[in-house]
Amino acid sequence: MTTLKVGICGLGTVGSGTVNVIRRNAAIISGRAGVAIEIVHIGARRDNPNCDVSGIKVSRDIFDVVRDSNVDVVVELIGGTTVAKDLVIEAINNGKHVVTANKALIALHGNEILPLAAANGVTVAFEAAVAGGIPIIKAVREGVAANDIKWLAGIINGTGNFILSEMRDKGRAFADVLAEAQALGYAEADPTFDVEGIDACHKLVILASLAFGMPFRFNKAYTEGISKIDAQDVTYAEELGYRIKHLGIARKSKGGIELRVHPTLIPAKRLIANVNGVMNAVLLNGDAAGPTLYYGAGAGSEATASAVIADIVDIARGNSIPMMGFAEGEVSSQRILPIEEVETSYYLRISAEDKAGVLSEIASVLSRHGISIEALIQKEAPDDEKHVPIILLTNITQEAKLMAAVEAIESFEFVQRPVVRIRVESLAG
């Protein structure tokens, strides 16, 4: 049996998991790959006590790995988009295949990196960049290859999902749950990438490009985080039969491609609405297969290592599936719909004085903007409060019309600003 020789750059959580799984499951992996998979070189600034690297060459300079003529495949697990980009480009120029878990690198620089790899006759594989151990890249690129994919929606950041799950289950405030997520290691000391949707947007951009055959367009995506979600909105959503999830949504529309990450009310009966804690899920809707749901661990040492190694096995097999899922020349630029043109339903929470005529004034404003009300809840005013929460669900309307209506409602003296607005998606097939 021949041997595919692997060099790993980065020995953190995923790097150590990759070493451990390859060593533990060597016979199974080689049986599936048809060749032996051997780690011959590791580049890491320091050792990791969570894995055994005995018998493997270790360098403190990660670029020693890409310059090692004995290495066939470079696994980039250092993260970031500066050194990692230089590392990957040098590996490609040295004729080496690359496997990466770096979603930011692909989302931001994939339009440069993937054509360079094709020109050099090597592969850049990135299954581990999206949703950890869920083989969602393979599903989009291969499993539903016969389908015209209409839309996809994903819970693709475990930290945000953990926070919203705790807020719903225990009625806790955002700041309180975020502090716990940081203590548990789910969130970084600076949680911006997770809670403001940047991490999820990197992943969504990758999925959308593979689904719709277009370049990576991170700079055109709309991103909104969960840091302003209030516990009372989580509760009111439940009363209306919905749950709030932080979703990445990509959809074909008549005006272009919707590419957006934001808090979303989805019907509680949907399977994806019941994905809790740090788990991830992606829902795909193809014209032939209909809706299909992919669920599993979105992060973690060995879950992500599973995806890394699956890419190594594909390279060992000589799989010739296009990196973007479409044949060369078939990837084309498409218009990304500005958020103002997106059409969806909305949840509104309006804090207004408890007096006659308020509801009719609000309904009149919505009507003037062509927006109809699907459901309404009015709560009693808390003790010693003049204002009551009015909760509305609208029918489908354009974002620009909704925002104009909200601005008009906020101008009323009887309304406490701002109006809370959360988009609503049915996610029906």
Portion of the chain with pLDDT greater than 90, in percent: 92
Per-residue confidence (pLDDT) for residue 1, from 0 to 100: 67
Q: Please, what CATH class does the domain formed by 341-424 belong to? A: alpha beta
**Cα gap 323→309, rounded to integer Å:** 16
Tens of pLDDT, residues 368-423: 999 999 999 987 776 677 889 999 999 999 999 999 999 999 999 999 889 999 99
Per-residue confidence (pLDDT) for residue 417, from 0 to 100: 82
- What residues are labeled active site? 203
CATH superfamily of 3-129: NAD(P)-binding Rossmann-like Domain (3.40.50.720)
The answer to whether 74 and 91 have CB atoms below 8 angstroms apart is yes
Helix (H) or strand (E) holding 234: helix 231-239
Tens of pLDDT, residues 240-297: 999 999 999 999 999 999 999 999 999 999 999 999 999 999 999 999 999 999 999 9
**Cα gap 55→51, rounded to integer Å:** 12
- What is the mean pLDDT of the segment spanning 85-89? 98
Quote the pTM value: 0.96
Asked whether residue 12 carries a pLDDT value surpassing 80, the answer given is yes
Do you find a cis peptide bond into 418, omega within 30 degrees of 0? yes
Tens of pLDDT, residues 45-70: 999 999 999 999 999 999 999 999 99
Listed in sequence order, the DSSP H helices in 39-142 are 63-66, 83-93, 103-119, 136-138
**Cα gap 32→35, rounded to integer Å:** 8
**Cα gap 140→155, rounded to integer Å:** 16
- Map residue 229 onto helix, strand or coil: coil
**Cα gap 128→304, rounded to integer Å:** 6
Please tell us whether the domain made up of 136-297 is placed in CATH 1.20.120.1200.
no
Domain ranges in the chain are 3-129, 136-297, 341-424
Tens of pLDDT, residues 105-131: 999 999 999 999 999 999 999 999 999
